[in-house]
Every structure is written in C-alpha cells, then in structure tokens.
Amino acid sequence: MSDDPIDTFRQEAQDLLEQIETGLLDMAHRPGDRDLVDAVFRGLHTLKGSGAMFGFDALAAFTHHCETAFDRVRKGEVPATPELVAAVLAAQDHMRALAEGTDASDAEGEALLARLRKAVDAAAGVTVETACVPGAATWKVRFSLPADALANGTRPLPLLDELRELGDCKVTALTDQVPPLEALVPTECWLGWEVILTTAHPRSAIEDVFIFVIDEMTLEIEAPGSAPQVTQDHDAPPEALLAAVTREQAAPAPEAAPEAVEAAEVKTTRVGDTVRVPAERLDELMDRVGELVIAQSRLKQVAVSSNEPQLRAVAEEIERLASELRDTMMVVRMVPVAQLFGRFRRLIHDLARDTGKTIALSTEGEATELDKTVIERLADPLVHLIRNAADHGLETPDERMAAGKPETGHVTLAARQAGAEVIITITDDGRGVDRARVRAKAEDNGLIAPGAVLSDNELLQLIFHPGFSTAATITNLSGRGVGMDVVKRTIEGLRGAIEMKSEPGQGSQISLRIPLTLAIIDGLLVRVGPARYVIPLAAVEECVELTVEQDMRSTGRSLLTLRDRLVPFIRLRELFRTGLAPDPHQKVVVVATGQERVGLVVDQILGDHQTVIKSLSAFHDDVETFSGATILGDGGVALILDVSHLVAAGQRQDAQLRAAG
C-alpha cells in the first residue's frame, strides 16, 4: 500500500469505476433492477465524496452531474433507458481520466454532460412507476457520527440538508454524550441528532442520505408502531452495541403493517482481511525465491557428493521448505481470470454499437487462476481476438436470420486448467473461416505457392501471419492486417501456443494454451552432447529408449512407432550441431502441445529440476528454439527448450517426409 494518499485514492477510484461499469452493463439487460440502480448511485456518490476530500474538484463536479441523473432514476422520476446508460458509460471514461490525472479536456467533458442531459430529458418523457410511497409517513431518525468524523472530512450539516429535501422535518441536537469542558477535544464530534421527518419517500430514500458514512456511524430509523433499525459503528464500545440490541429486544414490538419497516437488525462491517501490496514487491519477492531455489540446487549437489548424512538431511529439509515457499509464492501471485474477463463486457457493448450487430457475451471458468503478470499480458491479445470475432466472425442480424440463426450472435470466453497450463478459448457462432478466401489471399501475398498442399491447421494458421487480412474494406475495427500477428507473438512470448478450429457457417474457436506462471517451472534436465537443456515438465508425456535398430531404421524418415501411432522425432544433436557421435543408449522425450506430439532425441536424461527462468538477451530475440535459460546447481547454464517451436519443426519435417514418400 502506498504511503501517498493520492495513490491510495486513485487505487480506490479505479475499484469504484469498475463497480460502476459492471452495474451499468448489467443494467443494460435489467433496466428495472432497483439493486443495480442503487449500486451505481452508491458508487457515483462515493466517488464524488472521495474526490472532493482528496482535492479532485474537477472529478467531484463532473461526477455530481452523473449522480444527479441516477438520483432521478433511483427516485423513479426517469427510467434507466439504454441511451442514459450509454451516456453514463461514456462519462465514466472521462471520470477515469480525471482520477488518473491524465489530459481530459473541458470541451470533452461539456460534450459528455450535454449528451447526458439529452438522455435524461428524453427519458423523462417515458412513463415509469414512481418509487415513492403513496401518501406521507412520519419517521423518527436518530444518528450520531464517530468521534473522528470531522477530522476525516465528514460534515453533518449536508446530511441534515438532504433530509430536509425529503420533506418536512424537525431537528433536535442530542448532547447527552458530550463530555465535560475540561475533557472536550475540539476536533472530535460528540453530538447526535434526532430528526422527525414527514415524507412521501420510502425508507430506502432516508437510508441513502447516509450511504457514504453508514458503515462508520450509528443510525436508527423508526416508523410509527415499529422497532428502530440500528446501524452500529463497528468501532463503538461493545457495551454500547449490546445496549442498543438489548433495548431493541426488550421493547414490545406490535404487529406491523405490511408496508411497515422490517424487523430490526444489527448491521456491522467486517474488518478487512486483505492487504493491498504493490505488484513490484511481489515481483521482487519472486526474484528472491528464485535465487533461493538456485542456492538450494547447489546445496543439493554438494550434499549428494558428500558422505555427511547430516548435510544430506539439512539439504533435503531446505529443498522441502524451498519447494513449499515456491508453491506459496505462486498462489500469492495467482488471480482469477474473472478480473480479465470482466473487462470485455464493455468492449462487447461498444462493438455491438459500432457494428450494428446484436452481440451477447458469456463467460465460463471465471474462477480459474493465472499468474498476475500473465493476465496483464493477455489483455491486448484477447481484445484483438474478440474484435476479430465481432467484426469478421459474427454476421449482421439480417444475415443471421436468413441463415436460420438467432438474431443475437454469441461470443463465449472460457477458461480451464489442464495440468500446468490454462486453456482460454474464444468461441463465436458466426460464419466461420472462408478457407478459399484465406488461400486466395495468401497466394496473392506470396505466403504460399499456388496450389500448395496444406493441412487444415496450416491453412488456418496463415491468419496469424503479419499483414494478413481477408477484410474487403478497412474499418476502425479491422482490415489493416495488424492484430492477429501481435496475438501470436505475445502468446509465444508467454511460452504458450495457439490452436484454431472453424466450421463454415457454424463459427470458430481459438484456444490459447498458457503456462500458469512465468517465473519458476518444473523441468526435465537432459544432456545433448556436452551441453545440458531443460524441457518444461508440463509438456513431457513420456520417455522411451531409442534402440540402435530403431535409430538405424529411421534414418532419413525420423518416425517412431508408439502404440500403433507414428510420432515424428527430432535428433537434437543434429539440430544443435554438436559434431559428436550419439551415446549408445539414446532416449526419446515425447512432448506435446495440444493434440500434436513430437519426440526429442537426447543423449541422457539427468532428472527433474526446479527451473528459475532467466530471459535471454535482446541479441537472441530471433532464436526461436529456446524460451530462456536457467542456472544449475554447479553454476552452469542450461537453455530452456521452446516446445511449441520444436513441435512445429517436427510437423514440418513429417510433412516433408510424407510429400517425399
């Protein structure tokens, strides 16, 4: 948590803006939901108050207009029309800019407020059910603020003014808690207030007056013939809370009318059980854990070569603790993908408006967790994929109706964990990929030779080539051939892989296979010639021995039969040009990404290894065979093999052999 109060406010403002956006997007489907209206109003009210408290006067003034509009919705004066919701969503982007301190022109703010006023005026002409209770009722309201309320910027007079706006009221100050003069602290608030209010508004309107401070104050609202509802400050002395509850239980409660207030209840706030920590500190802690894993590996190697049983026992204990610390650190960095998926509801809302299509977004597996760094780097690729699905994949409502489909197009975001990977799929029920058009475009661009024989997967993968686009015209959404190549480059930078399936007329599905974390992985340490390499253990399916007979028989054809299935393999000593003769007992490590499998021929399997991933220098950016390096226990360096590129190389080799045969 930052010591700078401005940073603290900005973090809280972002949380509030996300809550407001979620409520607005939900309201687009449930415009009459009173809970959603109240939630959006509370968020705007809190944002306005916090902004004024921390000196963000422009934000507070701008938010006040949106709050006023939703106050009319809350009171039943205007309905939450799609135009009003869209206007507040657009205004919310301006609020975010004001909160972050970025450039936000006054002219843009005035234009947004003019749009908001136009939407409110248009909505005012729509007949809605009034939220006010027929007739007037008299309420007794008693409240007191915490002692530090004035020091924290809370002022009681505006609260009383808001109560007066609801109807006729009589205010009486309660001084029974004021201490003697010699004990009085001028900055502390010991006054209470009793208000007799006659209003046609419901009880909820009275509660909303205190919405910004209700968790820190004591509030009793009593209707004639009913028990008071008590909202007690959780910091108040226990005996005060007990007395309030005792008074409520002891008072005989007459039978209340249906419209009377519900039975009294005590509302408390729970002390926060989470701590907000800057991501930089987590990254630094992860680096320290990585260094500890390296040191532990060195200690293990020393212990193995030693005859000291005590040293071996200590090494095993430290290995266990380091492994548990690593697992704990991984969990700390994990966040649910719901944080990522939630961002795209607004994107779908805007895409539907821009394309004139009716689009529905559904999500699955939101509780699946991923490393925070991975989630941040996945945001842009998913934006490209969703925009591509909305623009290229989904048809217009007329086209869908003509094809016998529902008018509404569906985009589904799903996540699930598979071993040490998370698979994220983006599915649409649109027109699917026109393979003839893809082939024609690829031939025109010189990506493939005319009439070249390609598998379906190879043809679909052309979509991710830089500069490739099948769009007939360039729009603000697509057509320039940028985006999908960025997606592939980013996913491969995460040591992930992309798979694509498409059925003409039925839709498309793109699957992203992403490792759970980028910092530390379990690896299989192997030797090829004099050098050692690490293969990510999550990609390893099995290890088998390559006999001399199999090696001689497969010369020139690099195929191995495993359980009646041909598996292509790559001799790493030839790929890495070791210049040495192979060991007599070579091993084949079968690795896989998705449905594709390939064997990697190594000289020796050294065992499992906790791998702390170190990035390669910029000089090695174009080396696709390796995804990083790690430091071994003896201080040596082992390169980490990029399985997806090796599998692709195996596929190309197998295709060449089939073509030659």
pLDDT digit string (tens) for 234-284?
444 434 433 333 334 444 444 433 333 333 333 333 434 567 777 778 878
Q: Are 18 and 346 in contact (CB under 8 A)?
A: no
Q: Work out the number of other CB atoms within 10 angstroms of the CB of residue 467.
A: 11
Tally DSSP H helices, then E strands, for the chain.
Answer: 20, 23
* pLDDT value of residue 184: 83
Helices (H), 334-418: 338-341, 344-355, 372-388, 397-402
Helix-strand-coil split of the chain, %, nearest 5: 45, 20, 35
Pick the closest to residue 592 from 549, 546, 542 (CA basis): 542
pLDDT digit string (tens) for 167-191?
888 888 888 888 888 888 888 888 8
Which class is 337-515 in CATH?
alpha beta
CATH number for domain 520-660, candidates 3.40.50.300, 1.10.10.10, 2.30.30.40, 3.30.420.40: 2.30.30.40
CA distance 580 to 530: 9
Q: Binning pLDDT at 50, 70 and 90, where does residue 481 land?
A: very low
What's the DSSP call for residue 465?
Answer: S
Sheet with strand 229-231: strands edge to edge: 168-174, 192-199, 137-144, 218-222, 229-231, 266-267
Superfamily of domain 5-124, CATH level 4: HPT domain (1.20.120.160)
Indicate if the pLDDT at residue 52 is higher than 60. yes
Helix (H, G, I), strand (E, B) or coil at 369: strand
What value, to the nearest 5°, has the Cα angle with vertex 73 and ends 35 and 144?
A: 65
Which token pair is 269?
């706030």
Candidate ranges 136-140, 283-287, 533-537; pick with highest mean pLDDT = 533-537
Relative orientation angle of helices 57-74 and 34-53, to the nearest 10 degrees: 160
Please list the residues that pair with 521 across neighbouring strands. Answer: 611
pLDDT digit string (tens) for 297-328?
888 888 888 888 889 899 889 988 988 887 78
The per-residue pLDDT of the chain, averaged, comes to: 78
